[in-house]
A and B are shown apart, each in its own frame.
Chain A
Amino acid sequence: MKSKQRLGQRRTLFIFLMLLPSMLLPLIFTYYPLIKGGVMAFQNYTLMNIKNVSWVGFQNFKDILFNTAGVDFGQIAWNTVKWVLISLTLQFTLGFALSLMLKKKFAGAGVYQGLVFFPYAVSGFLIGIMWRWMFNGSNGVINDLLMNLGLIDVNVGWLAQKETALVSCVIANVWYGIPFFTIMITAALRGVAPELYEAADMDGANKIQQFFNVTVPSIKSVLLMTVLMRVIWIFNFPDLIYSMTSGGPANSSQIITSYMMTLVYSMDYGKASAVGLLVIAFLAIFCLIYMAVTNYTSED
């Protein structure tokens, strides 16, 4: 009895010691700053007046939401909606289509996947640099290609014009995000039991009916999960915009998280933290609604 108890204690100690190293750094460098940021959101914390920081209540939030910070928050929020929705829809549709083509393995499929999945491993910052150069208004290769195809007559300053800056960033983002969906959906498609298709064949279902009645229901949980993950991820993805346009011109390609970065770099930590808090609150609410609407649980 005694030795069993001692064994239990040893087991508990073992579990604790195994978890400790992994929890130590996140406690110091993630959870503590998170709480501190929650506090800073209610202070006039800027690096300029670091000596007399005081409580300002909801002033930071008011400044941001009611545009007293000199930036049209409504426009930025609308940009964010467009950025997330258009990027997501195209990434998902194209990624899904590609998965259907990759489902059946063919000679060289491994190499092919290795090549087309590669963007997934590259940082958004570098991708942004590459596309910024391609979209360049005077020596850009995209202008050259479009002119050769006869689609435009004169060079277009894609990233320098209000009308085209955000769209250009979205195009780069779609290109960047397809591999994620393809990787996830291809794996899911290959996991669907072939018997299901055989049965559908016998019932005389054509390919399109099979797609909607066999394929989609079988991989529904993966589809719902990847979409949720990606919404959060695209929302929190200022990297590409940062290196392509820095949110310009005149905030026309600014999204909420890239706006937050400009606040951080202008050393207004109170407002930056307030935006951070808004982002976390918004995403938490979005997750809850998404799960309620789609009936999504991890056991699905």
Chain B
Amino acid sequence: MANNLNTRKAKQKTLTALKFVVLFIYLVVVMFPFFWMLTTSLKPSNEINGPVDYIPNNPTFENYINMLFKGNFAKYMLNSLIASTFAAVVATFCGILAGYVISRFNFMMKTPVYLFFMITQMIPSFIMLAPLYSMLSKAGMTNSLWTLALLYANMTIPFSVVTMSGFYAGVSNSIEEAAWIDGCGYVRALFSVIVPLLLPGIAATAIFAFMNSWNELFMAVMFVDMDKFKTITVGLNSLILKYNIKWGEMAAGTVLALVPTMVLFAFAQKYMIEGLTAGSVKG
């Protein structure tokens, strides 16, 4: 019996060790493409076009300098930042308002309203590109950072409404009812009592909206062709369409585009995952 237990323990140990080996290999597989982009971005062009080296022999910031100061990448990043921040603020604010009503109030049109947001979330934005273009060009709204900011707000609102309504479900009703009894109006009760409790969730929603806008490609390519309004994805897109791609600069641009995503993800990862899984686990 004791012997049996021992072999079982030994087997368990081997299995655990095996598990960590597999987890380590997967970590390497996930990290490698990012590592490779970083390595490439630090190589001078003769090393990039030569035999493959995993560590740059003569590391240089030449590619970054070319992108940021000789190219217009600093401007593109600023444009992305403006459009994405605007979208994140608008979408989160809309989510705070509509999510609250959807999660807390019963009203006649509740199901259609919920469907309204679910449908917009299901249909990918590129399906609408052609009609949107004919609409926006007639209105003289192409080549404007504000148009892009509005489109990004539109793209991220449904998700933020649905996510926020999920976060409200985690807060007890009694809290704002107490505030109502104290004579608070609906709006004051919401903003002075409920919203402060949900700040982490609200931050996560805003960060998610920001990242989705920062990552958006097709609308930006479609509606912006003047250099001064280009976003970072449009900038990278024009580089990759070239016949002879300069991979060093391309890699530097990719790393620059990745940095904000990385910082925000490290910061909000836990809450983003909670938001993503909350709805599904509850069913």
Q: What's the least CB distance linking A24 to chain B, in Å? A: 9
Contact B123 A33 (CB under 8 A): no
Report the separation of the CA atoms of residues A80 and B197 in the bound assembly, to the nearest whole angstrom: 45
How many A-B pairs with Cβ below 8 Å? 221
Query: How many residues of A are in contact with the other chain, CB < 8 A?
Result: 83
Residue in A114, A116, A221, A236 whose CB lies within 8 Å of B26: A116
Counting chain A CB atoms within 10 Å of each CB, the highest count among B129, B214, B262 belongs to B129
Q: Verify if B83 is at the interface (C-beta below 8 Å from A).
A: no
Cβ < 8 Å to A, chain B residues 1-60: 19, 22-23, 26-27, 29-31, 33-34, 36-37, 40, 48-52
Q: What's the least CB distance linking B122 to chain A, in Å? A: 7
Contact A226 B131 (CB under 8 A): no
Contact A122 B130 (CB under 8 A): no
Contact B269 A29 (CB under 8 A): no
Q: Verify if A157 is at the interface (C-beta below 8 Å from B).
A: no
Report the separation of the CA atoms of residues A84 and B140 in the bound assembly, to the nearest whole angstrom: 38
Contact B277 A184 (CB under 8 A): yes
What mask results when residues 241 to 285 of chain A are scored 1 for a CB within 8 Å of chain B, else 0?
011000000000000010011001000010011001001100100
Residue in B135, B250, B262 whose CB lies within 8 Å of A36: B135
State whether A276 and B127 are in contact (beta carbons under 8 Å apart), knowing that A175-B29, A188-B281 are contacts in the complex. yes
Residue in B97, B98, B116, B276 whose CB lies within 8 Å of A184: B276
Residue in B134, B262, B273 whose CB lies within 8 Å of A187: B273
Tell me the nearest residue of chain A to B20, going by C-beta. A106
Cβ < 8 Å to A, chain B residues 225-283: 233, 236-237, 240, 247, 250-251, 254, 257-258, 261-262, 264-266, 269-270, 272-273, 276-277, 280-281, 283
Taking residues whose C-beta sits less than 8 angstroms from the other chain, chain B's interface range is: 35 or more
Q: Which residues of A contact B (CB under 8 A)?
A: 11-12, 14-15, 18-19, 21-23, 25-26, 28-34, 36-37, 40, 45, 50, 98, 101-102, 110, 112-119, 121-123, 125-127, 129-134, 136, 139-141, 143-144, 175, 183-184, 187-188, 191, 221-222, 225-226, 232, 236, 238-239, 242-243, 257, 260-261, 264, 269, 272-273, 276, 279-280, 283, 298-300
A-B contact pairs, 8 of them (CB 8 A): A26-B158, A33-B128, A116-B30, A121-B262, A132-B240, A183-B273, A184-B280, A283-B122
